[in-house]
């Protein structure tokens, strides 16, 4: 039950390096990204140079050879100022790159990982479809083999980085009658014939991280681009879910801490009835609750991350961490808006952006409802779906 993670000197140095980068490179453009919904392409190369993009990828493939704790630190620090950059970063580094490293063969790793690490290529993962969200294995996208190629047909939606991705991990049914045992994962390049972006999707939050709908119209994928084994794509899918939840928990944690930072700052600046509002007990109570919830979220997130680095099974810990942290982040953002009063409802202050950003993490990467079912299944050993 205990919290075990230790912030080593190396981890603190990493945090300070990322903090400096975020404050210099990301914070100044965060509001503009939200207004324009444009992705800052120039950041990717800088993040690659710092070793951020390949945090959990071994040095042999161009990565930094770090662990889940370090990846969580990077994600949290980015999200304190821009959830949009953080979610694009997580989709690239975790959903695409780490899954490719963990499940790919040596040829695939050497072909794709170095450019993804250095930031000359952008990665994404294509799983969700218009008709299948939480019920991901009920996908409609199919793949049929003809000689040395597979031909994918179908569509994916809500795909982070989808419109700008160079390399995508895409799931498709190769044996429909076998249900979850008939799914295969593929490495798809944007130049492959039959692949296209149908449209960019407008979101209420995380703007600047581009999201889109992808179309596969006899998309021709070399058989050598099967990731893992044919009809074993569910194994690939499930192998990355726990660490995904940890990284998304760190992302939500960053949003919550950003909201807390802005709330404290405003409470010290805003005067009413002859004194700054930090002196009012109801404001103090909000600040105290925000801090307490986020402190608990920090412990849960990094406990799960460290356990992952130790090789422990973390399904229960990861689901609990993201469930609690995502809801704590939304609560913190709501309170930050409330503390700002009327100004919090205006677009001039970042707290409204944090609130719009935070809500996604109760929905994406598995809804809060599904997380609760998963936790119950782990605790009780019963089928909940």
Residues taking part in catalysis: 244
Question: Could you please report the per-residue DSSP string of 85-144?
Answer: HHHHHHIIIIIIIIHHHHH--HHHHHHHHHHHHHTSS-EEEE--BTTBSSSGGG---EEE
3-state SS assignment for residue 250: helix
Q: Is the distance from CB of 17 to CB of 61 less than 8 angstroms?
A: no
CA angle 306, 309, 310 (to 5 degrees): 90
Structure tokens of 80?
Answer: 């304190």
Q: Are strands 211-222 and 149-160 parallel, antiparallel or unpaired?
A: antiparallel
> Which residue is listed with tokens 């935070």?
358
Structure tokens of 335?
Answer: 């309170």
Question: Could you please report the per-residue DSSP string of 177-201?
Answer: GGGGGGEEEEEEETTSTTEEEEEEP
- Single out the residue of 343, 254, 250 nearest to residue 30, CA to CA: 254
Residue 309's alpha-carbon distances to 4, 87, 285, in angstroms, are 12, 22, 36
Structure tokens of 357?
Answer: 């950003």
Dihedral (CA of 339, 322, 114, 208) sign: negative
Instruction: Say how far apart CA 330 and CA 328 lie, in whole Å.
Output: 5
Instruction: Say how far apart CA 78 and CA 88 lie, in whole Å.
Output: 11
Dihedral (CA of 183, 158, 102, 5) sign: negative
β-sheet bridge partners, residue 188: 168
Instruction: Say how far apart CA 306 and CA 302 lie, in whole Å.
Output: 6
């Amino acid at each position: 039950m205990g919290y075990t993670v230790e912030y080593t000197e190396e981890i603190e140095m990493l945090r300070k390096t990322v903090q400096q980068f975020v404050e210099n490179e990301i914070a100044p453009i965060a509001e503009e990204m939200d207004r324009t919904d444009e992705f800052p392409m120039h950041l990717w190369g800088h993040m690659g140079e710092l070793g951020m993009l390949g945090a959990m990828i071994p040095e042999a493939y161009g990565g930094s050879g770090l662990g889940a704790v370090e990846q969580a630190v990077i994600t949290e620090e980015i999200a304190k100022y821009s959830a949009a950059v953080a979610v694009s970063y997580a989709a690239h580094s975790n959903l695409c790159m780490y899954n490719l490293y963990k499940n790919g063969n040596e040829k695939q790793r050497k072909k794709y990982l170095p450019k993804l690490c250095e930031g000359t290529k952008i990665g994404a993962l294509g799983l969700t479809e218009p008709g299948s969200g939480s019920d991901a294995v009920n996908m409609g996208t199919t793949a049929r083999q003809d000689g040395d190629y597979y031909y994918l047909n179908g569509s994916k939606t809500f795909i982070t980085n989808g419109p700008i991705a160079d390399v995508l991990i895409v799931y498709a049914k190769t044996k429909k009658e076998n249900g979850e045992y008939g799914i295969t994962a593929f490495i798809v390049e944007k130049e492959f014939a039959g692949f296209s972006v149908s449209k960019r999707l407008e979101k209420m939050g995380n703007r600047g991280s581009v999201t889109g709908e992808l179309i596969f119209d006899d998309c021709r994928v070399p058989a050598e681009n099967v990731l893992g084994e044919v009809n074993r794509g569910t194994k690939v899918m499930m192998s990355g879910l726990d660490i995904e939840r940890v990284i998304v928990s760190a992302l939500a944690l960053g949003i919550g801490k950003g909201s807390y930072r802005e709330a404290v700052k405003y409470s010290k600046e805003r005067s009413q009835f002859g004194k700054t509002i930090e002196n009012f007990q109801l404001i103090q109570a909000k600040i105290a609750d925000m801090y307490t919830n986020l402190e608990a979220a920090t412990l849960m997130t990094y406990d799960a991350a460290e356990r992952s680095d130790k090789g422990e099974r973390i399904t229960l810990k990861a689901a609990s961490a993201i469930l609690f942290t995502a809801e704590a982040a939304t609560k913190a953002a709501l309170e930050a808006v409330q503390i700002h009063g009327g100004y919090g409802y205006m677009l001039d202050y970042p707290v409204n952006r944090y609130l719009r950003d935070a809500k996604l993490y109760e929905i994406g990467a598995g809804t809060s409802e599904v997380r609760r079912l998963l936790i119950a299944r782990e605790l009780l050993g019963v089928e909940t779906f």
